[in-house]
């Protein structure tokens, strides 16, 4: 048993040490020592713990490293008010997801079309905007809107997944560990424009910040705004901006009305007074909570393709794939199975 894996498995289920000890019938002192690597647990107790946690027993032996938010390369887009316990649960889930994906992708070669660059934002001549431009250039993106943000990240070798991160106060978590594909985890339940902005924000961290500087969140937002709406391309669209025009621009740029209005303010195409007035108008109509104009949702494809290679070319059963990914079969099916109906993929 790997003590760090035991802690991570427990936290991923949102259980305290005391709760798990009680549910599994293990003295809490014994569990505490086991989690700190000071004592071993009998096989009976490990089986009981795995049963409570709904994981296969062997998963507690995984030797893989666990990364903390203090490690370099671990970022999240969240509200300040998120309780620590919820944050621990989300981080534990993302760690396990990273390990699962790296195990699942062993033996399957999918070569990225573009590199994932590392361009430090503390370089003298660089701004988040100029770095966003360089990434667009390296990835050969045409001018104008980014057609499909998830496809762009997957082409650069990243995994993108949508998962329940346990609290609506988290938008996304990203992880860049050397030797692994970068991982972007989107929280469920966000509108597509917010998903795209969150992904672009996380991309900003991955590209610019080996360690997060104090102004890092602001820099990631500036990067995202420029990546999705290059200033030179969008400026001519913003003259005379009102809510009606913002609603018309939204499906073209695939960004929220709010971010289009902020962009017009940043570029000084509208006056600060006009900007404030538009924000107030949005709030009066409840658009600061739910915006009008729905965008199509983007879907990841790389993980499905990897699972498909295992099933079709390597002859893996669902049971074997569940084992490989350290999940019981039911959960594996929810997380990774892609049922097909008449050749059409069913989108959950």
Q: Note the residues at the interface with Zn ion (CB under 5 A).
A: 77, 217, 220
Nearer to Zn ion by Cβ, of 217 and 329: the residue is: 217
Whole-number minimum distance, CB 175 to Zn ion, in Å?
13
> What distances in angstroms separate CA 317 from CA 68, 154, 343, 345, 348, one per listed residue?
33, 26, 19, 19, 21
Nearer to Zn ion by Cβ, of 228 and 246: the residue is: 228
The per-residue b/e assignment along 267-288, b for 16 or more CB within 10 angstroms, e otherwise, is eebbeeebbeebbeebeeeebe
The secondary element (H helix, E strand) that includes residue 173 is strand 170-175
Whole-number minimum distance, CB 220 to Zn ion, in Å?
5
Nearer to Zn ion by Cβ, of 6 and 224: the residue is: 224
Nearer to Zn ion by Cβ, of 77 and 323: the residue is: 77
Q: Is 185 left (phi over 0), alpha (psi -120 to 50) or beta?
A: beta
Torsion angles phi and psi, residue 280, rounded to 5:
-65, -45
**DSSP class of 169:** T
Nearer to Zn ion by Cβ, of 101 and 220: the residue is: 220
Number of other residues whose CB lies within 10 A of the CB of residue 116: 18
Whole-number minimum distance, CB 246 to Zn ion, in Å?
25
Give the bridge partners for 74, in sequence order: 175
CA gyration radius for the chain?
A: 22
Nearer to Zn ion by Cβ, of 118 and 305: the residue is: 118
> What distances in angstroms separate CA 338 from CA 9, 149, 307, 318, one per listed residue?
25, 22, 9, 11
The two structure tokens encoding residue 314: 């390597």
Whole-number minimum distance, CB 178 to Zn ion, in Å?
20
Give the bridge partners for 75, in sequence order: 174
Whole-number minimum distance, CB 158 to Zn ion, in Å?
16
Nearer to Zn ion by Cβ, of 93 and 198: the residue is: 198
Whole-number minimum distance, CB 60 to Zn ion, in Å?
32
How far from chain centre, in Å, is Cα 293? 24
Distance CA 74, CA 192 (A): 23
**DSSP class of 236:** G
| Torsion sign (Cα): 166, 152, 345, 318 | negative
Whole-number minimum distance, CB 79 to Zn ion, in Å?
11
Nearer to Zn ion by Cβ, of 203 and 220: the residue is: 220
Whole-number minimum distance, CB 201 to Zn ion, in Å?
6
């Amino acid at each position: 048993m790997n003590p760090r894996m035991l802690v991570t498995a427990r936290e991923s289920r949102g259980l305290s040490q005391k709760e798990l000890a009680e549910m599994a019938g293990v003295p809490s002192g014994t569990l505490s020592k086991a989690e700190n690597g000071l004592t071993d647990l009998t096989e009976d107790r490990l089986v009981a713990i795995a049963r409570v946690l709904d994981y296969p027993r062997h998963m507690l032996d995984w030797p893989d490293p666990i990364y903390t938010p203090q490690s370099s390369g671990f970022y999240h887009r969240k509200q300040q008010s998120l309780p620590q316990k919820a944050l621990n649960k989300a981080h534990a889930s993302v760690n396990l997801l990273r390990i699962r994906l790296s195990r699942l992708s062993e033996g399957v070669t999918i070569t990225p079309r573009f590199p994932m660059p590392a361009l430090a934002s503390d370089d003298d001549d660089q701004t988040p905007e100029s770095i966003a431009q360089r990434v667009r250039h390296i990835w050969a993106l045409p001018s104008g809107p980014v057609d499909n943000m998830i496809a762009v990240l997957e082409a650069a070798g990243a995994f993108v997944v949508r998962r329940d991160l346990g609290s609506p106060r988290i938008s996304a978590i990203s992880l860049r560990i050397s030797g692994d594909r970068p991982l972007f985890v989107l929280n469920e339940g966000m509108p597509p424009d917010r998903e795209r902005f969150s992904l672009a924000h996380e991309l900003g961290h991955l590209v610019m910040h080996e360690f997060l500087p104090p102004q890092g969140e602001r820099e990631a937002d500036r990067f995202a705004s420029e990546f999705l709406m290059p200033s030179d391309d969008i400026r001519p669209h913003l003259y005379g901006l009102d809510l009606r025009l913002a609603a018309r621009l939204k499906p073209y740029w695939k960004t929220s009305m709010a971010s289009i209005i902020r962009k017009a303010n940043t570029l000084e195409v509208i006056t600060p007074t006009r900007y404030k007035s538009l924000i107030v108008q949005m709030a009066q109509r409840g658009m600061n909570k739910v915006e009008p104009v729905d965008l199509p949702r983007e879907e990841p494809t790389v993980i499905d393709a990897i699972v498909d290679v295992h099933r079709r070319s390597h002859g893996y059963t669902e049971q074997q794939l569940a084992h490989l990914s350290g999940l019981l079969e039911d959960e594996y099916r929810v997380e990774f199975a892609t049922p097909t109906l008449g050749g059409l993929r069913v989108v959950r």
